[in-house]
C-alpha cells in the first residue's frame, strides 16, 4: 500500500510537526529523468541540509567557564534554525537541466522545501507541461527529539562534551545522532588576563546525524520493482569552533562570542523507480555544504542542581536553542 506521506513530510513530522502532504509532492521530480531529478532534489532540499548542520552546531555550551575537575551536568536541548527569505525559493535556469524549460520565462522561481505552499512554476519536459512541487510553508527547522548531552570537567580548565540522540523509528523513518566537543579556558595562557573576572574559552565540536526513510514508490505496480530497497538516506556532519567570553553573577551567567560553523549533508535516493518511460536506478546522490561565521550569545539561570539556558546565533542561517541541565555545575 502506498504511504500517505512524502519523504520530506515525514522528516518534518518528526522534527517540526509539519502538516501532511501526499506522496506525489516529492515524487513529482522523478518524471524529469535522472539528471534533472538529482538537480531539482538538490535545489529543493539544500536549505534542509544547511538547517540540519546548523542545528547540530548549536547549543553546545551555556557559559564560557569550563567545569572544574569531576563536576558535570546532563542537559537536554532543542535548537531551532530559521530559514531566511532568500532560501525559500530557487531560480530555475534551463541551462542547469537537460530538456527542461520554463513555460513562462518570467515565472522562474520555485519553492524550496521551506517555501510557499503554492505550486511552483510550469515547466515543459518531453512535450508535456508540469508544475513543480510546492514547499511546506515552514520557515524554521527544529531538532526533535531533544538531544542529550553530558559535559564533564577535567584538569587545567578543560571540559569534554558528549552528545547523543537515540535512533527513533516511526512509519519507516529512522534518525539518530552522536557528537563530541571540548572546551578549554585560555585565560591561563594569557598573563595579563589570568586575574580578570570574565571567563574566556575556546570551544570545538563535531556531530553526525544519520536518517533513513523507506519510500515504497511503485505507482505502476511493476512486479520487478523491489520497494524494500527504495530509501532516502540523509547524512549530516557538522563542525564548529567558538571563542566565548562569559561573566557569572548570582544565579545568572551571560556570555557572547563568535562562532565558525561548517556542515556537509548528503542526500541519497537508492533503489529502482519505474516512471513509465524509464526505470531510474539510484537517481539521487548529492551533497550540500555550508560554512558561516556568526555572533553568538546567551544566558544561563542556575537554580541549585538545575539550570535553564537560552542561546542564540546570528548568521546566514540563524538559530536559537533552549534547554535544561541537571548536575554539579560550575
pLDDT digits (tens, 9 = 90+) for 251-280: 999 999 999 999 999 999 999 999 988 899
Q: Is the pLDDT of residue 195 over 50?
A: yes
Quote the cell numbers at residue 231: 530509501
Q: Is the pLDDT of residue 16 over 80?
A: no
Q: What is the mean pLDDT of residues 201-225?
A: 92
Distance of CA 293 to the CA centre of its chain: 17
pLDDT digits (tens, 9 = 90+) for 175-191: 899 999 999 999 999 88
* pLDDT recorded at residue 145: 64
Distance CA 57, CA 167 (A): 19
Q: What is the mean pLDDT of residues 56-75?
A: 94
Per-residue three-class SS string for the chain: CCCCCCHHHHHHHHHHCCCCCCCHHHHCCHHHHHHHHHHHHHHHHHHHHHHHHHHHCCCCCCCCCCCCCCCEEEEEEEEEEECCHHHCEEECCHHHCCCEEECCCCCCEEECCCCCCCCCCEEEECCEEEECCCCCCCCEEECCCCEEEEEEECCCCEEEEEEEEEEEEECCEEEEEEEEEEEEECHHHCHHHCCCCCEEEEEEEEEEEEEEEECCCCCCCCCCCCHHHCEEEEEEEEEEEEEEEEEECCCEEEEEEEEEEEEEEEEEEECEEECCCCEEECCEEEEEEEEEEEEEEEEEEEECCEEEEEEEEECCCEEEEEEEEEECCC
Contacts of residue 90, defined as CB under 8 A and 6 or more positions apart, other chains included, come to 43, 44, 46, 109, 110, 112
Q: Is the pLDDT of residue 91 over 90?
A: yes
Write phi, then psi, for 85 (nearest 5 degrees): -55, -35
Residue 173: band (very low, low, confident or very high) from pLDDT cuts 50, 70, 90: confident
Distance of CA 88 to the CA centre of its chain: 15
199 by Cβ neighbours in 10 Å (0-12 / 13-18 / 19+) ranks as buried
Distance CA 267, CA 288 (A): 8
Q: In the chain, where are the structural domains located?
A: 7-209+236-260+290-327
- Which of 153, 154, 158 has its CA nearest to residue 72? 153
Q: What is the mean pLDDT of the chain?
A: 89
Q: Is the pLDDT of residue 222 over 90?
A: yes
- Which of 255, 258, 254, 262 has its CA nearest to residue 242? 258
Q: What is the dihedral of CA 188, 159, 79, 172, to 10 degrees?
A: 150
Amino acid at each position: 500500500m502506498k504511504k500517505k506521506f512524502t519523504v520530506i513530510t515525514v522528516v518534518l513530522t518528526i522534527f517540526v510537526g509539519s502538516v501532511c502532504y501526499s506522496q506525489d509532492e516529492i515524487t513529482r521530480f522523478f518524471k524529469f529523468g535522472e539528471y534533472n531529478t538529482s538537480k531539482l532534489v538538490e535545489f529543493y532540499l539544500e536549505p534542509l541540509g544547511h538547517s540540519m548542520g546548523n542545528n547540530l552546531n548549536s547549543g553546545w555550551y551555556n557559559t564560557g567557564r569550563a567545569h572544574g575537575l569531576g563536576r558535570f551536568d546532563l542537559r537536554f536541548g532543542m535548537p531551532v534554525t530559521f530559514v531566511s527569505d532568500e532560501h525559500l525559493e530557487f531560480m530555475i535556469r534551463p541551462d542547469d537541466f537537460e530538456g527542461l524549460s520554463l513555460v513562462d520565462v518570467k515565472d522562474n522561481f520555485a519553492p524550496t522545501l521551506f517555501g510557499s505552499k503554492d505550486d511552483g512554476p510550469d515547466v515543459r519536459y518531453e512535450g508535456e507541461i508540469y508544475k513543480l512541487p510546492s514547499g511546506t510553508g515552514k520557515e524554521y527547522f527544529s531538532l526533535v527529539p531533544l538531544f542529550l548531552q553530558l559535559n564533564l570537567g577535567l584538569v587545567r580548565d578543560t571540559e569534554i562534551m558528549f552528545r547523543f540522540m537515540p535512533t527513533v523509528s516511526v512509519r519507516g523513518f529512522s534518525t539518530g545522532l552522536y557528537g563530541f566537543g571540548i572546551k578549554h579556558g585560555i585565560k591561563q595562557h594569557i598573563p595579563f588576563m589570568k586575574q580578570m573576572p570574565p571567563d574566556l574559552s575556546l570551544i570545538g565540536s563535531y556531530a553526525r546525524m544519520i536518517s533513513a526513510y523507506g519510500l515504497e514508490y511503485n505507482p505502476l505496480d511493476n512486479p520487478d520493482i523491489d520497494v524494500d530497497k527504495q530509501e532516502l538516506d540523509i547524512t549530516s556532519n557538522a563542525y564548529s569552533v567558538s571563542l566565548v567570553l562569559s561573566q557569572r553573577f548570582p544565579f545568572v551567567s551571560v556570555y557572547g562570542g563568535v562562532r565558525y560553523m561548517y556542515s556537509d549533508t548528503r542526500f541519497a535516493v537508492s533503489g529502482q523507480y519505474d516512471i513509465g518511460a524509464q526505470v531510474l536506478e539510484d537517481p539521487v546522490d548529492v551533497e550540500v555544504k555550508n560554512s558561516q561565521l556568526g555572533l553568538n550569545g546567551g544566558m544561563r539561570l542556575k537554580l541549585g542542581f538545575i539550570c535553564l539556558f537560552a542561546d542564540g546565533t546570528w548568521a546566514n542561517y540563524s538559530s536559537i536553542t533552549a534547554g535544561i541541565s541537571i548536575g554539579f555545575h560550575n
